[in-house]
Structure 1
Amino acid sequence: MAAKILLLEDDLSLNEIINEALSDEGFKVSCVYDAQEALEKAYEENFDLWIFDVKVPKGNGFEVLRELRESGKNTPAIFLTSLSMLDDVKQGFLSGCDDYIKKPFDIDELIIRVKNIIKRNFSHQKEDLILLNSSKNISFDPLNKTLYQDKTIINLTNKEKELLTLLLKKRPHFVSIETIFDEIWSLDEEPAIMSLRVYVKNLRKILGKDLIINQRNIGYAIRLENEK
């Protein structure tokens, strides 16, 4: 599954140019054109990266990111803006961004920065693939959220992919049930503990029963073979 990017840019032609360039690189891009749309989309869906313009209708990009950060969302974010003064850059980083790109910009530079931030989100890994089960040779590609046995793709549901990705990002720490619900269920879905248990059961069946552990009243965690 391709990495998902939320793009907030009210300039229609620039939005289209960025969308096309990122899509050509294999990213799945959701485009919005005002601050309210960006907030709604960011709460409804999970993304691997947010790219926000600042001067947009119905608010501004700084306010959008600040609200998302205060709500506990930690998705990496890039500001893409014509605001170039030092105070603007400071405000951007204080709002919680990971990078700040001033307009006008080179589209190739944007792509390089996008790829770097998405990969950096898994920077604790030395390789692109994370080995989950050495005896079965099962590995996970966190960038594309794809599970492999040898070179064959193992099919997972979207929720199973998102759950596995979340646990790997947060390891070795436990992830609470509430956080799991917030991260992998959208606002129009009703989270259910029984559904979560089914996803965990299915992953354990594939990966091995000891890889995903749970602790009552705390949540779930994943412990790799070399980290136990």
Structure 2
Amino acid sequence: MAVQDISTAALEVYLATRSPEAREQLVLQSVPLVRYLLSRLGITPELGSEYEDLLHQGLLGLIEAVDRYDPQFGTRFSTYAAVRIRGKVLDYLRSVDWMSRTARQRVRAIQKAVEELWLKNQREPTDEEIAAHLKTDVDTVQRGLMDSNRFLLSLDAPTEMDNEDSDLHDRLGDERQIDPQELSLDEELRRQLADAIRTLPEREQLVLSLYYHDELNFKEIGKVLGISESRVCQLHARALINLKVVMSHE
């Protein structure tokens, strides 16, 4: 599902009338976008009641987007709604801090171990090497990777909305007017990211490509690669941790 896949007819009717009925119809037709964005964040129905709580937050973000959207922003409604939805979900995760102290410590220890092993061996460490470095077992490392993937911000997570009254176009800027200096910096960042990705194992590169370029969720990637959804989640987390280490030492 692409972010822009929202009924233009429902949006046009709502913008023309601003009626409660049209508003409700637009919200209902946009609910799949909320579920899609949750899956992109690694949040699935398997979480049970926690998933329902996050779905509720996503729906609140969607309703805010419907009420605040103005086509004069020069931004698609679906893009605007996606930022609002993800921002609401991530703000909620930060506020409740679902990670236990033990899980949080485990994630930080793994990140530190990965960085130390990268610097020592000049390559990505294996799960076994991370476990040996931390004097723990591989299962604990893999649980830490799952925690990291679910609760830490990923590369496609939006920035926080510091000011609820600020318009989206104030944050994104006018896409029709490109600052040459900003464009140069953006191109340099893209180059550094591409170079860093090429240092990763082929399977991690493929997971990133399928997730960010082809927009598959973890379950779909698992079917493509013939591995479990949880293993895809771990590979994705490893790739992000490794990218941060590589880019921070360039």
TM-score by length of 2: 0.28
Larger radius of gyration: 2
More strand by share: 1
More helix by share: 2
TM-score by length of 1: 0.29
Larger relative contact order, structure 1 or 2 (CA cutoff 8 Å, min sep 6): 2
